[in-house]
Structure 1
Amino acid sequence: MKYKELREIVKYLEQFRHLNDIARVDDNVLRAVFDKEEIFFDLNRSKNLIYMRDDFVKTRFYNAPFDKMLAKKCKKSLIERIELDENDKIVRIHCRKKGSYKEESAILQLEFTGRHANAIMLDEKGNVLEALHHDFHRDIKPGRPLFPLTPPNKLDRSELHIENIKNYLLGMYKEDLAKRLQIAKTSKLLQLQKQKEKLQQLLQNLDQESTLLHEANEEEKKGQIVLANLHTIKPYQRVYEGADFEGNAIRFELPQEAKSAAMMSDLFFKRAKKLRQKAQNIHIQRENIQEKLDFLEKKANLVRNAKKVEDIELLFSKSAKKESKKDKNYERFNIAGYDVYIGKNRKGNIELLKKAKASDVWLHLKDMPSAHVIISTNKQNIPMEVLEQAAKLCASFSAKHPGSYNVDYTQRRNVKPKEGANVEYVKYKTIRVTIE
């Protein structure tokens, strides 16, 4: 941000007397509620912004030492004053909060200094209480005085008249959102396309049922020929040469691991049985892969239709722990600190039913085929906004068309599996959600 912009924004903020709420809502973004006005401070290295938005939904919670100190010293505090440093793009919010025994003052220093941007909590003497970042270009340690920044050589101190500060801050958000949204969409769609290509290759490499059945018949034929010629085949023999049952000449290798002709015959029959079983089950593998491809395509559609960067970040949650390689039939998301699992196919739905604990919350489209969704509760009450977002994910990954849908939810203990992923459930509630 330019210095002249900060100057006008600080003038606007000076009218407020209460800091009702303040918390980190993204890795480097603070949301503050001045009286009833929401202001966002973006301290990312690539850009520094102050903006307003009317579409905020909280999806992340932070509990690092900085976040605890921020809440302790600034949340529900009185604002003594807000000032802009005369020589740098630094905003200081002086807070006063009444504790159990005495009033305490603190300073939230917001440094809009490009790649060295930071948020630092200071006591009234200027000593560091906590900081968003400690590993930057200067020593920032709790209990020590804050080492000042070297002022920039130039600051844009020219006059700037902002007729409507709210519209100006909303416009900054919309302009930044459009850029970030396009970058996020391009990046994530490319990532999904690579995943789809791998699955498509697996699908193409699957054996055909007819090929497997032909191979099974050939193995069985060899076993029958060996069985009919047990008396002539030697235990050490490696190749059989003779005639088949139609009198045609035939030559094939014998199993080297077999210690007798009878064992050779048994091995051929076992191979034939295994190939037939594979032929019978190959359609299940094909369906599982196709369902995973369908899941990825639905995920790609959600990315294409996303209106906010947070909607995309939710689909690619970094805070969710990585599942092991065998857990590829369901996907894990993280909504406001709660792990949410969605089945990619029938196998994934079954795995989730087995994985879920009795107190976890299960979601499913009402009276329609649907992905199973599990919210891991850790025996805690789930906030309604988390339920609503999980229900929307359930509908988005299950419904074939945009529209409004009913999503049933209940505790896993109230869900009785029947055959496969089919279930019966009781004591449920319903949420109405809309997908675009």
Structure 2
Amino acid sequence: MKLYELQAVAKRLNDFTFISRARRIEDNTIEITFDKKNSYFFNMTRGHSFIYKAPSQRPLQGYNAPFDTLLHSLLSGSKLIGVDVLNNDRILRLTLAPKSSYKDKIIYLQFEFTGKNTNAILIDDNEVIIEALRHIDADSSFRVIRPGVELLPIPSRVLSHENTIDTHTENGVAGTQHPTDIDQLLEEKFMQIQQKRLREMKKQKLSTVAKKSEKLAQLLEKLPDEKALKEEEQKYKQYANLILANLYQIKPYDTKLNTYDFEGGEISIKLPKNIKVNRMSDYFFNLAKRAKNKAKNIHIEKENLQSKKAFYDNIYYALKQAKEPYELELLVPKRGKSQRKKEKLKEGELFWIEDYKVMVGRNANENQKLLSLAKGNDIWMHTREIPGSHVIIRTDKQNLPESVLQAAAKLCVDFSTDQPGNYLVDYTKRKFVKIQEGSNVEYDKYQTLAVLKEGVEIRE
């Protein structure tokens, strides 16, 4: 972030009178909404910090650290007294009067776009740190960033000519012109960053899902043929019976049995190691029984693998049509840091939508299992008139936000079909769903959401 750009941003923000909302929407990005309708985003990633302007965005996850709690309580509804660039350096300071204070009180929100010191810091009127986006200890820097510690100034530096002089930008928009010009610049920056990020995220997540689908395809390819398993069963039965018929001539140290089958043909049977002679027939009878059971159930295993592969193929197509990072992160969330985010399901896929636990079945068996796991007040979802995934939203007896229902309904459609179109998703409490057979159900007291699934415009 260049100094002249920051100065233009400060000039623009001084046009506003209050902050209606402040929250973190990503690990290093803070959204501040001025005068109810103007959202500016402060990305405080070290080495790549910048500001952009865009419509208000939905957080990728819930953030509940002390910094987030104070950011919300101190800034939401606060009066904006002024915005300044400090010490001719890349430090943007917002001076605020919190709405919640019972008497006149001043606090500061300081954004530091300064390399290794990049940070967002809440400060009181005595220059003492209230809280910060990232803490810095004494063993890392002379400038300690901790609650209750006085905020030391950043050492002054000599700025390069390009940082201090605003001649032009690559977009042809000068930062020192009219405030609406800096808005245009920040909006263009958002579009560039969004498209680049979308491409990078989409490429990475498509690769992840493609690998899962490919692995399932390999497992399907390796599945033994039912006919071959039945032939294997007959072979092992024959071996067992021939060993019983020739038990008297097998010595404990023999490694194979050369004899004649029941049709008079010569046959050589390799004998198992470390098994007593009188138990060798049982060994082959067990192999025959195992082959018989596998042949009997191989179609079930095949159907399970095929349905799981179809599930990931549907995710793949949904990823390709996604238009914003939030959709990508919802479909294929990154591994969470907390233990709760690392939670996994043995049957089905687990997602988190605004901190609500959402479980999705990938086939009939998993749909049935999720129905048994769901509590009475949990929300059950299914696409109307087409077979597909059952979705369970864990409510913990809370009323769900409309945004959670809409996002879960989109997941329900995305995981049930890869065909574009308009779909209806019925939902009701689990206690109003009656299991008929397997995962087939009847339900009442339901509501319906309409979901539009758009087509994939670009095919690889």
Q: Same fold (TM over 0.5)?
A: yes
Structure 2: which amino acid aligns with 1:408? D
Pair 347,244 (structure 1): closer, same or farther in 2 beyond 3 Å = same
The Cα shift of 1:260 comes to 6.2
**Residues 1:268 and 2:284 aligned together:** yes
Structure 2: which amino acid aligns with 1:386? V
SS at match of 1:418: strand
Q: Which of 416, 427, 436 lines up with 2:434 in the alignment?
A: 416
**Residues 1:71 and 2:72 aligned together:** yes
CA-to-partner distance for each residue in 1:384-413, whole Å, 9 max, x for gaps?
101100100111111231122111111222
What CA distance in whole angstroms lies between the structure 1 residues aligned with 2:314 and 2:65?
35
What CA distance in whole angstroms lies between the structure 1 residues aligned with 2:70 and 2:438?
50
What CA distance in whole angstroms lies between the structure 2 residues aligned with 1:358 and 1:377?
10
CA contact (8 A) 1:237 1:254 kept: no
Partner of 1:222: 239
Q: Which of 351, 355, 378 lines up with 1:360 in the alignment?
A: 378
SS at match of 1:202: helix
CA contact (8 A) 2:240 2:282 kept: yes
Pair 240,422 (structure 1): closer, same or farther in 2 beyond 3 Å = same
Partner of 1:376: 394
What CA distance in whole angstroms lies between the structure 1 residues aligned with 2:156 and 2:202?
37
**Residues 1:143 and 2:148 aligned together:** yes
What CA distance in whole angstroms lies between the structure 2 residues aligned with 1:104 and 1:282?
72
Q: Which of 124, 140, 158 lines up with 1:153 in the alignment?
A: 158
CA contact (8 A) 2:314 2:417 kept: no
CA-to-partner distance for each residue in 1:98-147, whole Å, 9 max, x for gaps?
44643432111111224532100000111001000013743111111112
For the aligned residue pairs, the C-alpha RMSD in angstroms reads 2.3
User: Unaligned stretches of 5+ in structure 1?
Assistant: none
Partner of 2:183: 166
Partner of 2:123: 122
What CA distance in whole angstroms lies between the structure 2 residues aligned with 1:241 and 1:412?
64
**Residues 1:209 and 2:226 aligned together:** yes
Question: Where do residues 76-95 of structure 1 align in structure 2 (5 Å cutoff)?
Answer: 76-95=77-96
Structure 1 stretch displaced more, 342-351 or 80-89: 342-351
CA-to-partner distance for each residue in 1:312-341, whole Å, 9 max, x for gaps?
1222223363345x82x4221211111212
The Cα shift of 1:236 comes to 4.1
Query: TM-score when scaled to structure 2?
Result: 0.87
CA contact (8 A) 1:73 1:105 kept: no
CA contact (8 A) 2:226 2:298 kept: yes
Structure 2: which amino acid aligns with 1:270? N
CA-to-partner distance for each residue in 1:156-212, whole Å, 9 max, x for gaps?
232432553433322111011111111112222222233333222222222222221
Partner of 2:405: 387
Pair 305,114 (structure 1): closer, same or farther in 2 beyond 3 Å = farther
The Cα shift of 1:271 comes to 1.9
Structure 2: which amino acid aligns with 1:242? T
Partner of 1:47: 48
What CA distance in whole angstroms lies between the structure 2 residues aligned with 1:273 and 1:112?
70
SS at match of 1:250: strand
CA-to-partner distance for each residue in 1:42-84, whole Å, 9 max, x for gaps?
1122422222223623442211011111122211111121111
Partner of 1:322: 342
User: Unaligned stretches of 5+ in structure 2?
Assistant: 167-175, 455-460
What CA distance in whole angstroms lies between the structure 2 residues aligned with 1:233 and 1:421?
56
CA-to-partner distance for each residue in 1:239-280, whole Å, 9 max, x for gaps?
43322111122231445566564x443433332121011012
**Residues 1:197 and 2:198 aligned together:** no
SS at match of 2:437: coil
The Cα shift of 1:229 comes to 4.8
Partner of 1:20: 20
CA contact (8 A) 2:74 2:100 kept: no
Structure 2: which amino acid aligns with 1:322? K
What CA distance in whole angstroms lies between the structure 2 residues aligned with 1:125 and 1:210?
82
Structure 1 stretch displaced more, 410-419 or 216-225: 410-419
**Paired residue total:** 432
CA contact (8 A) 1:362 1:412 kept: yes
Structure 2: which amino acid aligns with 1:420? G
**Residues 1:133 and 2:138 aligned together:** no
Pair 235,348 (structure 1): closer, same or farther in 2 beyond 3 Å = farther
CA contact (8 A) 1:109 1:119 kept: yes
Structure 1: which amino acid aligns with 2:227? S
What CA distance in whole angstroms lies between the structure 2 residues aligned with 1:81 and 1:399?
52
CA contact (8 A) 2:39 2:56 kept: no
CA contact (8 A) 1:94 1:108 kept: yes
Partner of 2:417: 399
Partner of 2:264: 247
Question: Where do residues 56-67 of structure 1 align in structure 2 (5 Å cutoff)?
Answer: 56-67=57-68
CA contact (8 A) 2:79 2:97 kept: yes
CA contact (8 A) 1:235 1:259 kept: no
Q: Which of 346, 349, 358 lines up with 1:331 in the alignment?
A: 349
Structure 1: which amino acid aligns with 2:291? L
What CA distance in whole angstroms lies between the structure 1 residues aligned with 2:284 and 2:117?
70
What CA distance in whole angstroms lies between the structure 1 residues aligned with 2:266 and 2:216?
43
Partner of 1:35: 35
